[in-house]
Chain A
Amino acid sequence: MSTVDATTAIDKGPPNDRPGGLLLDVRDLRITFSTRQGDVNAVNGVSFDVRRGEIVAIVGESGCGKSATALSLLRLIPELPGRVTGQILFEGDDLYKMSTAEIQAIRGDRIAMIFQEPMTSLNPVHTIGRQVGEPLRVHRGASADDALARAAELLGGVNISEPEIRIRNYPHQFSGGMRQRVTIAMGMGCKPDLIIADEPTTALDVTIQAQVLELLCQQVDNNHSSMLIITHNLGVVAQYADRVFVMYAGRIVESAMAHELYSDPRHPYTMGLLSSVPRLDQRATERLAEIAGQPPDPLKLPPGCPFQPRCPRAIDRCRVEMPPLEAVSQTHKRACWVDAHG
């Protein structure tokens, strides 16, 4: 076992104009799912932190463990196939040492989760209004009527038209993007300290996406709360995030301030990612640039750097030894043996 992310040390560097107390601190998180084929190592030693008032983004390959990381923050990884180790400190308290009642009091109230696939968090047999109002009833003791009225307000906030009528609909009567907005409204109800948003805007068109993200950012600003946003949309990252973590095969391979990542990516995977983005401000080419090859099988990760089989710059060392996450500047780290520049 190579010593990878010994990066538990908190980099206290980045200039941040907002109060930067540590809100969430994740240390050496590992998540394993046991399946019939063997153990799937979904997350392999991830450490990161989120400061108060900050918007942190996680980007990365499909299946690299982003959602698993997010779910583990609220102890939502099912016990049966899943195993979580490491420390998750929320305001200094280890979430995994709390009682069930304590963690339930935090879920949906202090930390809200916006799930990747809206249908997983919506109950098909209850009305939208009831479900959006639910956290308010549970955590704020709101009456059924108050909760419903507030639900309509929240839905209006995420641009659902005629919310007073729409609260009587069931999830299947909403479009994909509307359901996604419902889960966002649900997450914002209790004004949480930390919003974990797992691909919150994938099903939204650009204008509504912009409005919804704006709304989320306003919440962050107004309540001095923070947001951990997982997204594939590098445009969204560029526009809204303060810091970015790039994940690959269950590891963080690069972390940087958002602008640094775009101007000076240091990991070959990040570079590949940035060059695969289809952009409107460039001419369309025949084929989109892809990163050649397939992501590694989490059942049998290659020795050395997990990106090595696909990496255009790989050297011999990459095949045998895992690169540690090393600082290239005060705010910028990457895990790569080659001193690569974009």
Chain B
Amino acid sequence: MAITDVAEKLLVPPSGGTFAALASSIRRHRLASVGLIVIVVLCLLALLAPLIAPFDPYHQDLYAVLSPPSAQHWLGTDNLGRDLLSRILYGARVSLMTGLLCTFLAAAIGVPIGLLAGYTGGAMDAILMRVTDAFLCFPPLIFILAMSAALGPGLSNVILSFALFGWTGFARIVRGQALLVRELPFIEAARATGVSRFRIMWRHVFPNTLAPIIVAISITVGGAILVESGISFLGLGVQPPTASWGKELRVGFTYLEVVPLFSLAPGLMISLAVLGFNFLGDGLRDALDPRLNGFDR
């Protein structure tokens, strides 16, 4: 997959600070900056939802169900007469949060496994990678669905099941990177100094796998938002009355002919978020290529 390819290229970018390097390369890359702006705006909207939402998202006005956009309700109302704009703003909190949580949880499982496998090598590597492969054999979406169904509907179950099946990507990327990093002389130098194995992994190998992890996180968040939307769309994710984009899309879908905006608006938001994260990820991938990075002024 493309990401591992990138991971190879990202090996030890010339600059010392990952984040400084990332920031400067994003600025230079147009697509990445677009993605970043989209993400920042979406996050701001989500964070500020209580302040900027015109209505309480749970307030029902049964006299004005499925109303078209108006000066009062910019995007109209839903089937229970709740303000759609407010619901989408609040839904952004749920959807983005879920995306991020899913990703971080997956990374939290995958990264240590990858580090351990890649740095230790040998039997440990073989065992851990067989386990990873086993997980990869399952079609993830179906399993997440099945698990969500088994555990019962609810957001936390979606997050859990996503993490349970989403960590493999991180493990593979990190393992690949760790395999390369451990051959580098500074690891041998750390061994020669007497640094313990755990500390080498944590202080020496891990920071040098950060760049591809960040790229992967960015792309995974997009995927997770999509998964959450899909599961909510199928009715297994967030439960009423909580709003999420997938949920709105599902309900709105029923009324597609009556009020198209009801489903279009959340759909658009999902696409925006997913594209934003993917642009950022792609951009980071290109911009962080050490053979190009820093070589131009």
Residues of A near any B CB (own CB < 8 A)? 75-80, 84, 100, 119-120, 123-125, 172
A sample of 6 more A-B contacts (CB under 8 A), given A78-B295, A172-B183, is: A75-B296, A77-B297, A80-B294, A124-B11, A125-B8, A172-B185
Contact A123:B296 (CB < 8 A) given known A78-B15, A80-B20, A172-B183: no
Chain A residues near B130 (CB, 8 Å)? none
Q: Does B197 contact A (CB under 8 A)?
A: no
Contact between chains at A125 and B296 (CB < 8 Å): no
Contact between chains at B294 and A125 (CB < 8 Å): no
Chain B residues near A84 (CB, 8 Å)? 297
For A172, the closest partner residue in chain B by CB is B183
Chain B stretch 151-204: residues in CB contact (< 8 A) with chain A: 180, 183-185
Chain B residues near A100 (CB, 8 Å)? 296
Contact between chains at A79 and B297 (CB < 8 Å): yes
Q: How far is the CA of A125 from the CA of B9 in the complex (A)?
A: 8
Which of A79, A119, A120, A172 is close to B296, meaning CB atoms less than 8 Å apart? Answer: A79
Q: Does B242 contact A (CB under 8 A)?
A: no
Q: Does B207 contact A (CB under 8 A)?
A: no
> Can you spell out 20 A-B residue pairs with CB atoms less than 8 angstroms apart?
A75-B295, A75-B296, A75-B297, A77-B297, A78-B295, A80-B15, A80-B294, A100-B296, A119-B185, A123-B11, A123-B291, A124-B11, A124-B12, A124-B180, A125-B8, A125-B9, A125-B180, A172-B183, A172-B184, A172-B185
Chain A residues near B8 (CB, 8 Å)? 125
Q: How far is the CA of A119 from the CA of B296 in the complex (A)?
A: 20
Chain A residues near B9 (CB, 8 Å)? 125
Chain A residues near B50 (CB, 8 Å)? none
Contact between chains at A79 and B294 (CB < 8 Å): yes
Q: How far is the CA of A17 from the CA of B193 in the complex (A)?
A: 54
**A contacts with B: majority SS:** loop
Chain B residues near A77 (CB, 8 Å)? 297
B122 to chain A, nearest CB (A): 18
B8, B180, B296, B297 — which one has the most chain A CB atoms within 10 A of its CB? B297
Q: Could you mark each residue 276-297 of chain B with 1 if its beta carbon is under 8 Å from any beta carbon of chain A, else 0?
A: 0000000000000011001111
Contact A80:B24 (CB < 8 A) given known A124-B183, A172-B183: yes
For B17, the closest partner residue in chain A by CB is A80
Q: Could you mark each residue 16-35 of chain B with 1 if its beta carbon is under 8 Å from any beta carbon of chain A, else 0?
A: 00001000100000000000
Chain B residues near A75 (CB, 8 Å)? 295-297
Q: How far is the CA of A75 from the CA of B294 in the complex (A)?
A: 10
Chain B residues near A79 (CB, 8 Å)? 294, 296-297
B30 to chain A, nearest CB (A): 15
Chain A residues near B14 (CB, 8 Å)? 78, 120
Chain A residues near B295 (CB, 8 Å)? 75-76, 78
Q: How far is the CA of A31 from the CA of B297 in the complex (A)?
A: 14
For B179, the closest partner residue in chain A by CB is A125
Q: How far is the CA of A78 from the CA of B9 in the complex (A)?
A: 18
A146 to chain B, nearest CB (A): 21
Q: How far is the CA of A172 from the CA of B297 in the complex (A)?
A: 31
Chain A residues near B294 (CB, 8 Å)? 78-80
Chain B residues near A80 (CB, 8 Å)? 15, 20, 24, 294
Q: How far is the CA of A124 from the CA of B184 in the complex (A)?
A: 8
Shortest Cβ-Cβ A-B pairs, 10 listed:
A78-B294, A79-B297, A125-B8, A172-B183, A80-B24, A100-B296, A125-B180, A75-B297, A124-B180, A124-B11
A182 to chain B, nearest CB (A): 16
Q: How far is the CA of A80 from the CA of B297 in the complex (A)?
A: 9
For A83, the closest partner residue in chain B by CB is B297
For A126, the closest partner residue in chain B by CB is B8
B9, B14, B20, B183 — which one has the most chain A CB atoms within 10 A of its CB? B183
Q: How far is the CA of A296 from the CA of B199 in the complex (A)?
A: 37
Q: Could you mark each residue 56-91 of chain B with 1 if its beta carbon is under 8 Å from any beta carbon of chain A, else 0?
A: 000000000000000000000000000000000000
